[in-house]
Chains A and B, each alone.
Chain A
Amino acid sequence: MSIKNIFKFSLDNMSRSKKKLAIVVLLQVIIFVLIGQVLIEYNKQKYVLNKCENILSAPAKKCEAIDFENASLTEEQIIEFVKEVHNLDGFLAVGFGCSGVQTIKNTVFEGKLGEIQASNSNKTYTNMNNGLRMREIQVSLLPYYKFDYVDKIDISKNQPTDTAYLVLGNAYKDIPVGSEYIKELENGTKVRYIVAGILEKGEEFVETKLVDPQEIEIINCDYEIFIMYPMEDYQYSRPYVSYAIDKKHTVEEIHNEIIEIAEKYGLAREDISFFNAEKSLEIYNKPMNYVVGMILDIAIIITITTVLVSICIQSVTIIDSMNMYGIMYANGVTRKDVALIVILENLVKTILAIMTAYSFARCYYSLVFDKTVTFSNELAVLNGIVIYQVIGIGLLIMVASTIVPLIIINRNTPSKLIREIT
């Protein structure tokens, strides 16, 4: 049979069995919805976690965290500890756990700026906006959470001038993520504030992206302050936020100082876990590893989806297909020609399925992300994932849908295929 005729048959078979085509697309959409939901959660969590860590381990900055979760300290001990660390020349350690909106409110609105508040992690729970009860250690060194307040605060009065600050703050709709503010203090120190991210959900919190530290231009400032806020979900609120951005100290020096102080409070070295900035930087500097890992993860899910879809499709269409091939055999179409017809038919079907699934996926993902936490970066990546997903699923469906009939054709004598129709 000529290629032209093979192509004609492929198109004819597909276009004339509209019911079959509709069932195939419907099955794909149903399974896509089910698996899609899992995919969204899976990729979102994985991506966001990774992204948070990357941001917190911003290059060219000494980025450390102290995790008190393993230490059994009293509230007083924590306060003392933090005070001492805080008062170190050139180092500030803050941000154990998610401080929460309430803390910010207390410190900023009630005039407790710069005051250290701490509580034992075993005692304090904060009800977050989303109703989540969150265990936390509050350490609020919060001069600002909104730029409006910057002018009202005199850092030099509250903090040593050679101390850098991490501000746990929120971007509001009038202060988008990526905004920055440079303030020159009375003593001539320049402080640069950057709203690096907002992950909180709520009416007034509308920002949708995280700033990639690599995209932030390093300018000649004495201090740079990232305004960060942890995710609403507990799992993202690991107490790993701390920035030491004094350029005079090395990471190792800071570690040693912390350990020294910790020991005074009866803490063992093992009680303090440092956020491994270098390791994170390593990951950060090798984005391909992350991309490859992500694609592999997705590939696993795609494979599962594909197997399910293919089984459904084949079980729906196999009898019709076999009848068709039997009739073709009986009328002089060769095995090779039938195979080509099967491949071409599935190829065209796959292109249609990819187009349908992609349109559907775009709508589906936008719908989901509009209603939940969204960041443009994540959305961009997830859009990329959607493309990989639908193309991957489509191609695998094509392979599976093609291979099954070809195996049946190859393993059965023409008489067996003919028997299907007699």
Chain B
Amino acid sequence: MIRLNNVTKIYETQGIKTNALNGISLEIKDGEMIAVMGPSGSGKTTLLNIIGCMDSLTGGKYEYNECEVSALKRGQLNAFRKEHISFVFQNFALMKDYTVYENVELPLLARNISKKERKKIVNEKLELMGISELTKKYATQISGGQQQRCAIARALAAGNDMILADEPTGALDSKTGDEIMEAFIRVNKMGKTVIIITHDQKVAKKCNRVIEIEDGKIKVHND
């Protein structure tokens, strides 16, 4: 379970302070699928970065199960992220000079998985996402929907229990976006916690819970 207690995040640029998160308290149970909505600049991505240990919080407390994440040092945060969190981005964040197979293989290389095991996992995840025929294609040679499936396969390959997605359908057409959401639902049914940042009501409706943020605060909690 993720537990955020009165979390604040202040950015300071050229002496100007900006409150990106202003006392967020939140609980996310294991295996939940949550949509985080809100206008631009409301703090959605900051929240995702804090949960994903990509950014440090200024105040408050962040706990994951029994671990106080907000008290971890830099190296420990890296290890925590590596062990628990995978990301999916709006622009897919695939390595353009690498094939689909090699992109999915990346987190496994980072975890020193054997070659044989890597092959098994990568093929399994690609098949799950329905892109097993694209293994030898380069990231730039496949469609946006296929790239996002590849990115989800990569997130799954890491074997982490939490997937954070920042506008995963934002760069896709409606039909492809629906297909991607179906893929996320399948991932969620596998027991993974999925947190999706979105502007799209259609996407939000497919999640178990919707959290709306405005000015760095939680405005509405909808089950």
Interface positions of A (Cβ within 8 A of B): 1-2, 5, 8-9, 12-13, 16-17, 323-324, 326-335, 337, 413-415, 418, 421-422
Contact = CB atoms under 8 A, between A and B. Distances in A.
Given A5-B112, A16-B97, A421 B107 contact: no
B54 A418 contact: yes
Contacts of A335: 74, 78
A236 to B, nearest CB: 55
Contacts of A332: 81-82, 107, 110-111, 158
A8 B106 CA distance: 11
Contact of A16 (B86, B98, B106, B111): B98
Q: Taking each of B56, B74, B95, which has the highest tally of chain A beta carbons within 10 Å of its own beta carbon?
A: B95
20 contacts: A5-B109, A5-B112, A9-B109, A323-B93, A324-B95, A326-B93, A330-B89, A331-B106, A331-B154, A332-B111, A332-B158, A333-B106, A334-B75, A334-B110, A337-B110, A413-B56, A415-B49, A415-B55, A418-B49, A421-B89
A331 B55 contact: no
Contacts of B55: 413-415
B54 A414 contact: yes
B90 interface: yes
Contacts of B81: 332, 414
A315 B89 CA distance: 25
B184 interface: no
A422 B82 contact: no
Contacts, number: 75
Contact of A1 (B74, B90, B97, B110): B110
A414 B77 CA distance: 11
Nearest to B97: A16
Interface residues of B, number: 31
Interface of B: 45, 49, 53-56, 74-75, 78-79, 81-82, 86-87, 89-91, 93-95, 97-98, 106-107, 109-112, 154, 158, 166
- In order of increasing CB-CB distance, the 9 nearest A-B pairs are A16-B97, A415-B54, A332-B82, A332-B110, A415-B55, A415-B49, A331-B107, A414-B54, A330-B87
A328 B89 contact: no
A2 B108 CA distance: 11
B109 A327 contact: no
Nearest to A327: B93
Contacts of B94: 327
Nearest to A2: B112
B93 A330 contact: yes
A413 B54 contact: yes
B93 A421 contact: yes
B52 to A, nearest CB: 8
Contact of B166 (A12, A328, A331, A422): A422
Contacts of B111: 332
Q: Taking each of A323, A330, A331, which has the highest tally of chain B beta carbons within 10 Å of its own beta carbon?
A: A331
A421 B81 CA distance: 18
Given A1-B109, A8-B109, 15 more contacts: A1-B112, A12-B97, A12-B98, A326-B93, A327-B95, A330-B93, A331-B154, A332-B82, A333-B110, A335-B78, A413-B55, A414-B53, A418-B89, A421-B93, A422-B45
A13 B54 CA distance: 24
Contact of A334 (B45, B78, B86, B97): B78
A334 B78 CA distance: 6
Given A16-B98, A413-B54, A328 B106 contact: yes
Contacts of B45: 422
B2 to A, nearest CB: 17
A337 B112 CA distance: 12
A330 B54 CA distance: 8
Nearest to A418: B54
A333 B111 CA distance: 8
B110 to A, nearest CB: 4
A334 B110 CA distance: 8
A421 B139 CA distance: 15
Contacts of A13: 97
Contacts of B91: 421-422
A421 B93 CA distance: 6
B125 to A, nearest CB: 13
Contacts of A328: 106, 110
